[in-house]
Amino acid sequence: MSGQGCDPAWLARLPGLVAELEPYREMLLANVVMVGEIPAPTFGEEQRIDFVKQRFIECGLQSSSSDEVGNGLGIIPGSRGQQTLLLSAHADIPFAAGENHTFSVEPAAIRGPGVADNSLGVAALITLPTILERLGIRLESNLLLMASTRSLEKGNQQGIRFFLENTTLPITTAIALEGTPLGRLHYRSLASLGGIISCHVDRKLSDQSAIEVLNRLISRLGEIPLSRETNTACVLGSISGGATYKLPARTAQLAFQVRSDTDESVAEVNRLIHGIIDELSSGKSVSVQLEVIARTRAGGLPSTHPLVEASRKIMGVIGIQPRHGSYSSTISPYVEQGIPALCLGLSQGENVNYLDEYVEIEPLLSGMAQLIGLLVLLDGGRDE
């Protein structure tokens, strides 16, 4: 990475950057609405990506295109172009296409399913080229903008993983955008394994309820020793099963996640879970199966890394209080490829992943200012 020396002129401009962004607030809000009202369930992001590409073309970006897994890409060429900064935001949201995607704009908030996670992130991505151009900010580095697909749940970040595994561009640093919360500064990834355990009872052989089987399984999971030293935890996320109160359930499922500071601890818990599953499904009438839906690897940057320190500095100058916690699964694909990466939030919000999800309008420009501030700083502080 070059250019992390803090350019005094740029740092001096930063406190006033929020005010400079004021004329672009409506443009950002309009993009939030236009992005957010296009349904984009994981594996069904095509229409939303088409809109992103249309915006990239309107802004005159180079190589506006999709790749094999549907990621939407565009490049703002740098004046020197020796390095490439990657700015990404996942385009998928955890809502089915048939849900009502209507957004509302209130004086203090913008409301709609997926607005925080992550329509705002995508909107920031497609508004940024116009803002940079109108503020006269031209980077030396190429800036690669990417709305990534297949990130959530069973998508397991396939979009970003595919791109990082296959790109030939020399990506030096990556920033991932999430709608909320402002002050998020994630630069490490936990080791994790997310899975679904399905219990099935053959009704011809047994009238046992699959929920009883699941109950035994959950009790056994509670007995697995978890290392405190490595912050290993097993999260029981959701359960489902059965069809009616009148009959024993034929099927029951548990969705769970094991997470830890080390890949080895996750592997060990995984081994123990498999042992329990084998025991429970030993009879002919009961089968228990594990489907792994997501994995992340442990790693990332130390808190003293120049990229992390630069981000804290920018946040401080703009008046953003960094939040506790440095871990996000978003960082894992970058860890796997050895690319230094950060995940930033753009505003405050609530009810994330519920239909009444919203983000606050007022902090938005601070969120954008931190992003622009960091990009320029990473680039070396060039300003026309």
Rank residues 104 and 303 by Cβ distance to other proteins and give the closer one.
104
Shortest separation between residue 65's beta carbon and other proteins, angstroms: 20
Region near other proteins per CB under 8 A, out of 23-31, 164-172, 251-259, 276-284: 23-31
Q: Which of residues 182-211 bind other proteins (CB under 8 A)?
A: none
For residue 61, the minimal CB distance to other proteins (Å) is 15
Give 48 or 200: the residue with its C-beta nearer to other proteins.
Answer: 48
Which residue number, 100 or 303, has a Cβ lying nearer to other proteins?
A: 100
- How many whole angstroms separate alpha carbon 32 and alpha carbon 123? 5
Rounded distance between C-alpha atoms, residue 220 and residue 255, angstroms? 15
- Residue from 6, 11, 33, 255 in contact with other proteins (CB under 8 A): 33
- Stretch 310-339: interaction string toward other proteins, x if CB under 8 A: ------------------------------
Q: Is 79 near other proteins (CB under 8 A)?
A: no
> Residue 59 or residue 310: which is nearer to other proteins going by CB?
59
Return d(Cα 92, Cα 380) in angstroms, integer: 32
User: How many beta carbons lie within 10 A of that of residue 187, not counting itself?
Assistant: 22
Nearer to other proteins, 33 or 290 (CB): 33
Query: Measured from the CB of residue 27, what is the shortest distance to other proteins in angstroms?
Result: 5
- The yes or no reply on residue 29 touching other proteins (CB under 8 A) is yes
Residue from 12, 19, 30, 57 that binds other proteins (CB under 8 A)? Answer: 30
Closer to other proteins by Cβ: residue 28 or 314: 28
What is the rounded end-to-end Cα distance, in angstroms, of the chain? Answer: 21
Give the residue with the Cβ less far from other proteins, 27 or 226.
27
Min CB(300)–other proteins separation in Å: 37
Q: What span, in angstroms and rounded, lies between the C-alpha atoms of 367 and 358?
A: 16
Least distance in Å: CB of 29 to other proteins?
Answer: 5
The least CB distance from residue 60 to other proteins, in Å, is 12
x-or-dash string of contact with other proteins, 98-137, rule CB under 8 A: ----xxxxxx----------------------x-------
Instruction: Please identify, among the stretches 7-15, 31-39, 139-147, 375-383, the one whose residues bind other proteins according to the rule CB under 8 A.
Output: 31-39
Q: Which of residues 232-261 bind other proteins (CB under 8 A)?
A: none
Q: Measured from the CB atom, is 106 or 229 closer to other proteins?
A: 106
* Interface region with other proteins, contact rule CB under 8 A, candidates 21-29, 65-73, 172-180, 272-280: 21-29
> Shortest CA distance to 276 belongs to which of 355, 189, 199?
199
SS (H, E, C) the chain: CCCCCCCHHHHHHHHHHHHHHHHHHHHHHHHHHHHHCCCCECCCCHHHHHHHHHHHHHCCCEEEEECCCCCEEEEECCCCCCCEEEEEEECCECCCCCCCCCCEECCCEEECCCHHHHHHHHHHHHHHHHHHHHCCCCCCCEEEEEEECCCCHHHCCHHHHHHHHHCCCCEEEEEEEECCCCCCEECEECEEEEEEEEEEECCCCCCCCHHHHHHHHHHHHHCCCCCCCCCCEEEEEEEEECCCCCCCCCEEEEEEEEEECCHHHHHHHHHHHHHHHHHHCCCCCEEEEEEEEEEECCEECCCCCHHHHHHHHHHHHHCCCCCCCCECHHHHHHHHHCCCEEEEECCCEECCCCCCCEEECCCHHHHHHHHHHHHHHHHCCCCC
CB nearer to other proteins: pick between 35 and 185: 35
**Could you tell me the smallest distance in angstroms from the CB atom of residue 101 to other proteins?**
9
Which residues sit at the interface with other proteins, rule CB under 8 A?
Answer: 26-27, 29-31, 33-34, 37, 58, 102-107, 130
